[in-house]
Structure 1
């Protein structure tokens, strides 16, 4: 059979120039491309979504058993459309020449993790966008090795189950237990307390809470957020990473449990939570079309454009005391002995935070605004004093701090030096721009300033790098430029495409525009994703 015999009815054969006549390029109709993309996405999507991830190895101490470890992970079991908790057994003995194929076993019994009708809360939807999550179901979990406790967010709630630890290993799927709550709204970013795994922490309405997994006791630790339906009047949060920190620094949490508990003589415990408190009062508010387009609403966001004010952040400490029965006796909010900006002058971003393994110090990685200087600092709990409005009580706390104490700066590194040089060569016949930044003055601080400095120091660079200011250089022939953009994009706002198209029209230049009305920065809807790929291939096929 020749190459021509295998072509479908939707295929147009085009003879290529300057090549032997027996070679052909298949030129498909829109419907033909749609069939190809549909089958391709079905296969590639299945491969991508089924790939296991978030691995956790746990040693099995059964000397007579055939397995050395149990491997936990997230994956998509056969016949399912959502991620779930799975495990595999690793045998003690493996032949060197053998190919070991592990069987996937389900931990959870008939459990639906995706919210009914796929209705994620606004917080969940935006976090999925920042993390570029496409899979449904269980997308992350926390694990406590000593007790075998698993904690995860699913179906607009929190759940736990156990495997390993003192209870031994399961041999059949278990039903996860839902952790009930009195909180309104979604509980985000749940984490097990390492020093006392009966407790968990979570974020609710931009404040930090703790709860007892078994008894259901809950306590709000911070009172930053007022809970009003107005972004302008509610600028503070606790334990939540801001937009720029998530999008440009890959940090998606804003609180960190100490790794161990301090026990007292009565059997009670003291545990600590180090957390970030943020004030976005001076950060610009922008409005992006809401998914509820039929209601003609717009969502409001705090968005620091390059050269403008960033959120003000500090680190605080929550101290939690429990009695012998595991009941919460007291909680105390603590602040740094001196303001954060006085202690660490020049710091603009808190890039990473955690605890040393012995629990004696918290630590933080700090960056200046230019992101050229990095500091690694140690933060002992003694550096924090109780928050109070009483001057006398505050003075008493200050006097208790060791006078010879110095916050240790373990390392200071210059990350970059010299001038950035960016070269671009334009020789392509076609240009395709997806959700493009067309005016760098309108993009965020963290990314833009990392490469271009602030606008006042690099006005020429900002102007030269903004394509919307140079539309006169675009070709005058049609079918040379394709622009695609999600209308609800809260990262690269649709303003960029709107302004670019306006400038192109004023210059009398041709262009093609494809808008996805219900998509953000990433294409989520399968039909939109399929259309996007067909559009790209069809444009390339027709005009390249």
Structure 2
């Protein structure tokens, strides 16, 4: 359940694991509203077709190593198909480099089931050129499209298609020296020598049950690790994950809308049951015998992170099943023996940071993220793993999950992201030799930055509650060079949002909340309230980012005040705040929503707390359903999208992190299950779920609906035919928002 927030529109997708996708294509046509004239406007149609007004904006910018250009992806305003562009830093001119039509001869992409599933894990709902990789010298660009590989030579403007064997090509990469391109094909690793154009197979034995070079489901879905193989810095060796899924039970979900299609077999690890068995091997770049890395896999079954940085040895982070113990190991690639650099422990769970360990190029040591002092901190460790100095203290508000750690080895500086409050993230710099970190931004909001390898150039993005994201390019000294051009449709309004903190006192650090009022707000009136909730681990709803409030503003304009609350269990408030939910989902997350709601009602007289509805997706869908089941005195109606109903039916790595093993915590699982409380329903409940969701399976909503039916409890179910955990289809999105608005209007107004 990696956290991704929204319902898959404006780049915020609503978390929980992923599903085998059906990537519905947006249409440029308007979707006519089926609601009354009050809401019969163009906004909702535009919002759906443009993915929350995010299409047409530059994404994934990458400066070239020497800073002569910035490459980025961009679609048209009403199309989800991405193309590759280049922005010249000297002239400020933009040119189109590659398009799907240019590479394929048409716009029609053919995605394999494996590539669809990979995109779902990464929450990618766009099409076309969804990613690219620059060669180490920046002269070539690697692109994968429809299972085919293309290399674009920037100086000559020439495209070369690589001749690969038949099959599904996944996870292509340049070797560190730029002379080869590697990829996973039919569950084995292959490489092509770019000069000779000859393909060779590096590993063997991959099949439908055992794969070489692919990250297993929970690594992609929950650990944030999407690759399963790593080049050595000298390009002579490849380390790779071998994943044996044979011990894992197989689920065969079928799409009821396609009875002619065979059910898709999926190895799905559930709490307390078998996981994929993973080991790490090292093989020569030309193939041959594999040396297997030796560690106590019975104690540490999870291969969480693998790094093979310049200046450092092959390094891995391994965790125990409960994610309460982890070890950072170095591996001898000749013998497979490992040595412990450091260990971490936590009585609840340990968060992962896929950016660390990050070895320095001179081999003197590495960067490491820890929470042992109560909040994330960035440390410098020596080559033996011993503590050297604290670079970023817990009080700075370091945000490892949002940072793109950049290390300027020449100037011995580290660039990172941090924020004094959980609603904003700024850019910072700190010296490897010590001293206080320096803030590089002073405007509250969400800042991102991507640096050229020589740090002569930076592409930086900014958004806040009143501005959509925009990318600009600047020199290292801060001199602005220009803006990466957007062709996006701009929202017709700025959301009427207020970010507040309530309840702060000696015993409570307080709750961060957002309120979105109607654009024609009348302070003399009292409004029904809709709580737009996530409320679970790894994700925030309350943030200084305009895109996150556009949908809320539309709903508010139907006659509500829309409120969001980040309670305990959500990130960026310190270890104790986040770990307070350990052992049960069914109490603290809901209690905090109720407590904060009452505090808001005391401060804002326009909130009619006798008319409160709640809506959410994924974990938010779970919490919305739980709200009307357990607290009907507060919540009078709920719309629950893709809810996890029974945590025994979700995946191991996510669920066991927070609830432990079901064999050891049966009461926590029972109390957290919606089935336990189903017979108590006395408020209107609308359940919404994609029938092809393979992250939170449609099974969940079916089980809850069955339990409610058997208990004689009235409720509504809206199946989204053929859709997964994401809902990119514009027509479905419009109808879904309308249905939600009608539901709350009927039961709250």
Scaled by the length of structure 2, the TM-score of the pair is: 0.55
Runs of 5+ unmatched residues, structure 1:
1-27, 61-67, 93-101, 164-168, 227-233, 262-270, 322-330, 385-405
Instruction: Give 3-state SS (helix, strand or coil) of 1:441's partner.
Output: helix
* Counterpart in the other structure of 1:157: 148
**Residues 79 and 107 of structure 1: CA distance in aligned 2, closer, same or farther (over 3 Å):** farther
Give distance in 1, aligned partners of 2:339 and 2:105: 45
Alignment match of 1:453 (pick from 636, 656, 660): 660
Among 80, 83, 97, the residue aligned to 1:107: 97
Instruction: Show the counterpart of 2:733.
Output: 529
Query: Is 1:129 aligned to 2:81, yes or no?
Result: no
User: Where does residue 70 of structure 1 map in the other structure?
Assistant: 69
Distance of aligned partners of 1:58 and 1:184 in 2 relative to their CA distance in 1, 3 Å threshold: closer
1:510-533: per-residue Cα shift (whole Å, max 9, x none)? 111100121112123332233222
Answer yes or no: is 1:334 the counterpart of 2:290: yes
| Contact 1:352–1:364 (8 Å) recurs in 2 | yes
Over residues 199-254 of structure 1, what are the superposed CA-to-partner deviations in whole Å (9 max), with x where a residue is unaligned?
A: 1111112111112234331122222334xxxxxxx421111111111111111110
Question: How many Å apart are 1:505 and its aligned residue?
Answer: 0.5
Q: Within 2, Cα distance between the matches of 1:438 and 1:468?
A: 7
- SS in structure 1 at match of 2:55: helix
Q: CA deviation at 1:489?
A: 1.1
Q: Distance in 2 between matches of 1:445 and 1:88?
A: 44
Counterpart-to-counterpart distance in 1, 2:334 and 2:209: 29
Secondary structure in 2 aligned to 1:30?
coil
> Does residue 1:48 correspond to 2:48, yes or no?
no
Q: Secondary structure at the match of 2:172?
A: strand
The residue number in structure 2 matching 1:309 is 274
Aligned residue number for residue 88 of structure 1: 87
Judged with a 3 Å threshold, the aligned counterparts in structure 2 of structure 1 residues 37 and 446 are, in CA distance, closer, same or farther, namely farther
Q: Deviation per CA, 1:177-197: give whole Å up to 9, x if none.
A: 21122x2222111111113x2
CA shift in 2, pair 1:454/1:42, >3 Å: closer
Identify the residue that residue 370 of structure 2 maps to in structure 1.
Answer: none
Q: How has the CA–CA distance of structure 1 residues 43 and 300 changed in structure 2, closer, same or farther, with 3 Å as cutoff?
A: closer
Distance (whole Å) between structure 2 residues aligned to residue 337 and residue 521 of structure 1: 36
Q: Could you say which structure has the higher helix fraction?
A: 1
SS in 1 for 2:114: helix
Partner residue in 2 for 1:193: 175
Change (3 A) 1:258 1:456: same
Which range moved further: 310-319 or 214-223?
A: 214-223
Between 1 and 2, higher relative CO (CA 8 Å, sep ≥ 6) is seen in: 2
1:247 equivalenced with 2:221 (yes/no):
yes
Greater Cα offset, 105-114 or 433-442: 105-114
| Deviation string, structure 1 residues 370-391 (Cα, Å, up to 9, x no partner) | 111221111132234xxxxxxx
- Which protein is bigger by CA-based radius of gyration? 1
- Indicate if the aligned counterparts of 1:140 and 1:152 stay in contact, CA closer than 8 A: yes
**CA contact under 8 A between 1:82 and 1:114: conserved in structure 2?**
no
1:45 is displaced (CA, Å) by: 2.4
Distance 1:34 1:255, change over 3 A: farther
Q: Tell me, yes or no, if structure 1 residue 39 matches structure 2 residue 45.
A: yes
**1:490 is matched with which residue?**
694
Is the aligned partner of 1:367 residue 2:319? yes
Q: Residue 382 of structure 1: SS of its match in structure 2?
A: coil
Once residues 59 and 209 of structure 1 are traced to their aligned partners in structure 2, the CA distance between those partners, rounded to angstroms, is: 27
Summarize the Cα distance change of 1:433–1:333 in structure 2 as closer, same or farther, 3 Å threshold.
farther
How much does 1:293 deviate?
1.1
Aligned to 1:99: none
Three-state SS of the structure 2 residue aligned to 1:381 is coil
| Residues in 2 aligned to 1:243 and 1:485: alpha-carbon distance in whole angstroms | 21
Q: Which residue of 2 aligns with 1:433?
A: 640
Determine the structure 1 residue equivalent to 2:161: 178
CA contact (8 A) 1:114 1:154 kept: no
Q: 1:113 to 1:30 in 2, by over 3 A?
A: farther
Number of aligned residue pairs: give it: 438
